[in-house]
Amino acid sequence: MNGAENYYRATAPGDSYAALSGRQQARICIIGAGFAGLATATSLMEHGERDVVLLEAEQVGHGASGRNGGFVFGGYSLDEQALLATVGAEQGRRLYQLTLGAVDQIRRRIDRYGIDCDATHGGIYLANWFDDPSVLDERQRFMQEHLGVEWQRVSPADFAERARSERYFGALYEENAFHFHPLKYAQGLARALHDGGIRVHEASRATAIEARRDAAGWRVATAGGDVLCDEVVVCCGGYIERLYPALAGAILPIATYVMVTEALGDRMPQALATDAAIYDTRFAFDYYRPLQDSRLLWGGRISIRSRSPEEVASLLYTDMLKVYPQLAGAKVDYAWSGLMSYGRHKMPQLGKLPNGVWYGMGFGGHGVGPTSLAGDVLSAALMGELSKVDQFAAWGLPTTGGPAGLLAAQLTYWYYELRDWMRQ
């Protein structure tokens, strides 16, 4: 494999931003330059608020935002039926529509800021892993009747022509969806923020968040300095570690795996006759997409631990050949794992702690659209409009149970994996 384990980082070195040095003052300090933090800062900037400092412990897009599958589509990790069951049909439909608006907003920002992020507007297929047409029948009907969304049905024969695989039993096609290079998009937002007057600092890990004694507001400390601010927003996801226990205890850091093949060249049409991205109907599904340099990106599996690049490559290569045996012999050039953050309820966690700390996290598994949505919700709240953030109050910050919660999550994954295996 390539010496650089992460394909995205290898193909997008990006700009660099100086570490925080000394004391700064700002109206708002955002911790975490992943999609949620970047989107919050971008929305603030677009609404005229530029007195903002954005702190990143590593590099822009270091966590899940710069390592994910690159799928941009509607919905949350919590499935649509459960969403509506929790908050009712009207509110559930409204929340789902917000994610479709976020997809459109990401497109607009790509255009507005001239972000070259390999956006491929070919839609996304949900491929049926099971020889049971009711799986797609029920999903298509639910999306249309309850959410007003039309997904196109594709027959098994037609999908086999497009996906070049006999493994599936038809698909649903989401035309409005697209896929992109997530790290290039994150870097593009950071560049737009920097050019717009937002202070962006990399290599500036927040080590403490303290209420100020001398005045209202907060002190955010780093190794090189601190930020005195009126408002603080924590957008750290699976890499929050011990920064703020009240928030860290409400998420599960769950690992997922991704690999990228060598450039396939003329072999790519043997595997895919579409530029769409694909995922399937299992609980722990494969997700994959063709890249613009003729490589295939393949992701999947869920675990409570990260693995070495060699282990990831071995696992996912085996998964790929189950669907595309014609790619036997193709080399894996990159493989990596990374941590996502899940709330126990699988919905984004957006809000304000009783002491005044704002937070946006818990986007694991379906995060690109919801993180962009979160930026709008949090920026509106920071400017005094609370109605958007109140829509997420039903889920809150239930504890995930620490190590016991992680073990329970792994056991749940194994249970659903076994159920899918028995079903097929």
The structure's pTM equals: 0.94
For strand 287-290 and strand 277-280, is the pairing parallel, antiparallel, or unpaired?
antiparallel
Sequence-separated (6 or more) residues with CB below 8 Å from residue 325: none
Q: Is 31 helix (H, G, I), strand (E, B) or coil?
A: strand
**Is 236 part of any domain?**
yes
Average pLDDT taken over every residue of the chain:
92
CA atoms within 13 A on the CB side of 322: 11
Residue-level pLDDT at 417: 60
Residue-level pLDDT at 256: 86
Inter-axis angle of helices 368-382 and 89-112, to 10 degrees?
Answer: 90
CATH of the domain at 258: 3.50.50.60
**Is 420 part of any domain?**
no
Domains contained in the chain, number = 1
Residue-level pLDDT at 257: 92
**Is 183 part of any domain?**
yes
The DSSP result for 301-321, as a single string, is EEESS---HHHHHHHHHHHHH
* Helix H or strand E encompassing 10: helix 7-11
CB 298 within 8 A of CB 319: yes
pLDDT band (50, 70, 90) for residue 362? very high
**Is 418 part of any domain?**
no
Q: Is the pLDDT of residue 246 over 70?
A: yes
Q: Is 351 helix (H, G, I), strand (E, B) or coil?
A: strand
Looking up tokens 């011990």 gives: 242
**Is 1 part of any domain?**
no
Closest CA relative to residue 120, chosen from 128, 112, 110, 129: 110
The 10s digit of each residue's pLDDT in 134-170 is: 999 999 999 999 999 999 999 999 999 999 999 999 9
Residue-level pLDDT at 407: 60
- Fill in the DSSP letter of residue 281: S
Per-residue tokens: 192: 């737009």
**Is 419 part of any domain?**
no
**Is 424 part of any domain?**
no
Mean pLDDT of 102-131: 97
**Is 329 part of any domain?**
yes
Residue-level pLDDT at 252: 81
Question: Residue 260: which domain range?
Answer: 7-413
CB 264 within 8 A of CB 271: yes
Rounded Cα gap, residues 398 and 413, in angstroms: 20
